[in-house]
Amino acid sequence: MKLLIKNAIVVEPSKNLEKKQDILIENGKIIEIKENIKLTQPHKQINANNFYVSAGFIDIHTHLREPGNEEEETINSGTKAAAAGGFTSVFCMPNTNPPIDDQAAVEFIMLKAKNEGLINVYPVGCVTKLRKGEELTEIGELKKAGVVAISDDGEPVENSKIMRRALEYSKMFNLPVIQHCEDKNLSKGGVINEGKVSTMLGVRGIPKESEEIIVIRDIILASLSKGFLHLTHISSKNSIEFIKQAKQKNINITCDVTPHHLVLTEDYLLKSPYDTNLKINPPLRTEEDRISLINAIKDDTVDCISSDHAPHTKEEKSKEFDLAPFGIIGLETLFPLCVTFLYYKHKVPLINIIKKITNNPAKIFNLKNKGKIEIGYDADLTIFSIQEEFIVSNFFSKSSNSPFIGWKLKGKIKYTICGGKVVFDSTNPKDPFYENKNFYNNKK
């Protein structure tokens, strides 16, 4: 049965389009996009009522924790959280237990996602075996199994020779290397940004230079190897400047930033000292760094916005600050934080925000038929309001380690559609996932 989306404002950055149109879907594909589509045959219909619709959001950096830490998150719960956040595709990072470093691990993720996931899950494979930084994985075999990138995320690839080889393979297999930029010799033992706040709180800091040294080194290695480098969760002003200069030299490099680095600074730790939901790696930086990241969104130095969704249990986050794990959840708050702070406060055009969570991720990571509202493309779509306010409270993730609980935000996801099927419907708040199963059985 066809699905017709009526009266939506279509936002499509690739065409610089922001216009009211209808979208017709059949067999999981977009088959028509125009004003005032009329159908006589039986069909399902969503009246978007002047809400916006974009291609389904794509998050290139999430931790779904399965296998190994299912008490924090699973592929099922993580994809529910993603769907509630407007995402139709997520990348799962390989720091699982065991890590995603061979074909069997990739196949496990893909089978789990097929059987239990609500949306598309793309595995990221390890650069090195067991993420130890000592020996390259069988990168060609990982690509054949279905990974969309390689990374040792959570750990940097510190050995320059191994990183060079990984970048050379990235060129051969057209497979980006996602680098977690951290010199562990500088950051070891640190828990927040090194500076005035770490001094005032009497805790060991992580200097910005820990990130910047790896950024500079990998830019040089990308230039040498002609490989494909993606730098993730960039947090410092100088890192942004180095990336901007590298792009001007046409080095094959892309990067992403997270909403928490766009919204929060180290000063929040003075308001809530030792709040472990503010313990993030890379750490929250200064106001100067935050503003530089926002400016890099505006001038397109930053290619993507990712959540770095990192779930942890209440027990883990209840430990004393030094012992608690780094990380916060982010799938369900990424878009509203971007709307509230980037769009409304800092006047970043909506079409620019959408570009960094649809067009750009799909293009950078070669996701076929994803990331655009275009005839013939997969019917992965997100319908949302930018005016509607809500209070951040309950989460669909298994974990709730978020510093944004209680915040009033704008940017409400109304429907998430993946492969032509409604996978999240906020108009039925009691059971937004269950009822969508009936959407195609004439019971809605």
Q: How many CB atoms lie within 10 A of CB 333?
A: 26
Residue written as token pair 């040792």 = 152
Q: Is 22 among the catalytic positions?
A: no
Question: For strand 408-418 and strand 381-391, is the pairing parallel, antiparallel, or unpaired?
Answer: antiparallel
Provide DSSP, 309-337. B----HHHHTS-TTTSPP----TTTHHHH
Residues 74 and 108: beta-carbon distance below 8 Å = no
Residues 6+ apart with CB under 8 A from 36: 22
Cα-Cα-Cα-Cα torsion 385, 296, 55, 6, nearest 10 degrees, comes to: 30
Query: Distances in Å between the alpha carbon of 88 and those of 12, 129, 241, 418, 431?
Result: 16, 30, 32, 6, 19
Catalytic residue among 308, 378, 380, 425: 308
Q: How many CB atoms lie within 10 A of CB 215?
A: 24
> What's CA 210's distance to the chain center, in Å?
23
**Distance between CA atoms of residues 428 and 383, nearest Å:** 15
Is it true that the peptide bond before 349 is cis, omega within 30 degrees of 0? no
165 token code pair: 């080889």
168 token code pair: 């050379």
Indicate which residues carry an active-site annotation.
308
